[in-house]
Amino acid sequence: MRSKILFIVFLLLIYSVFPINIVTTINPYYLLLKDLAEDKATISVIIEPGENPHTYSPSIGDAKKLRSADLVIANGFSLELYLKDTLKDINNENSNIIYISNFAEDLIRDEHVEKAEHINPHIWLSLDFMIEQIIPGLTHKLIEADPNNKEFYVNQSEKLVSDLKSIKKEASDMLKHYSGTNVLLSHPSFKYFFEDFNIKEYAIFEGHGDEPTIKELKSYIEKANNGEFIAIFGEKQQNLEPVQVIVNSTDLDMGILDPLGIESQSIVGLFRYNLEQIKEALNE
């Protein structure tokens, strides 16, 4: 018993001196953890923001990095499809993987959807999910892993939620005038973002690496010219040519959204950039 107590004390001392090692699968969670943990953790990312999480295949170095982490933050819902087996093996060994999908699963799983791979995985782009589920859930996990810094994590969480609520209010004040309308997206990454404001998205690319047919492009152009869409949005990680074809054949204004935060320095900056692109496309 005495040796067990001494071991626990030793672990607490280690964590008080050395920051916890956190590895995230994608950049948005890297940005989020940087804001939440700052210098209390060493944070790195596996899939760089210029890479496609849906098709990224891990290297031997990636597997080593994941295995050496105190905590691994993954999205789930089959976003990191080719990391799935690696993550499963690591979780069986260490049980240190946190799937963000577990925080939001009950909120978005349709009663007719039985498999996770059929769920749109881009949950981090919903301001509501981020504020109400993801940040509180991650804060709780950080405190479990590093209880000595509980007060710090709680304060950082509250500040971050406050900043994102300000962005949510700004977005709501602008987008309330478009409630009940439709937007056309190159890829359905921002489905949850627009749903927060009662705006329906239609995606040109439903899969990964697919291309719309000429018939589909003509259909989108016809619908756009009939006033069915208020704007069109491409993505930095997607082919913009089909989007440009539609823009050139309609009066739609285009924005370029960034779901992974290629140039963002924080999670707040990621939402700020995308909100500015939406404003520009809507001429607000």
Residue given tokens 């890297």 in the structure block: 30
**Domain end call among 147, 168, 189:** 168
Tell whether 104 and 234 lie within a shared domain.
no
Query: Would strands 182-185 and 254-257 be described as parallel, antiparallel, or unpaired?
Result: unpaired
Count how many residues are written for the chain. 284
The pTM assigned to this predicted structure is: 0.89
Tell whether 201 and 259 lie within a shared domain.
yes
CB 249 within 8 A of CB 95: no
Tell whether 153 and 188 lie within a shared domain.
no
Residue 117 reports pLDDT greater than 90: no
Tens of pLDDT, residue by residue over 27-80, are 999 999 999 999 999 999 999 998 989 889 999 999 999 999 999 999 999 899
Q: What percent of the chain has pLDDT over 90?
A: 73
Q: What pLDDT was estimated at residue 115? A: 53
Tens of pLDDT, residue by residue over 127-165, are 999 999 999 999 999 999 999 999 999 999 999 999 999
CATH at 183:
3.40.50.1980
Tell whether 110 and 24 lie within a shared domain.
yes
- Does an H or E element contain 137, and which? helix 135-145
Residue given tokens 């993550």 in the structure block: 87
* C-alpha radius of gyration, the chain, whole number: 21
Q: What percent of the chain has pLDDT over 70?
A: 88
Tell whether 249 and 123 lie within a shared domain.
no
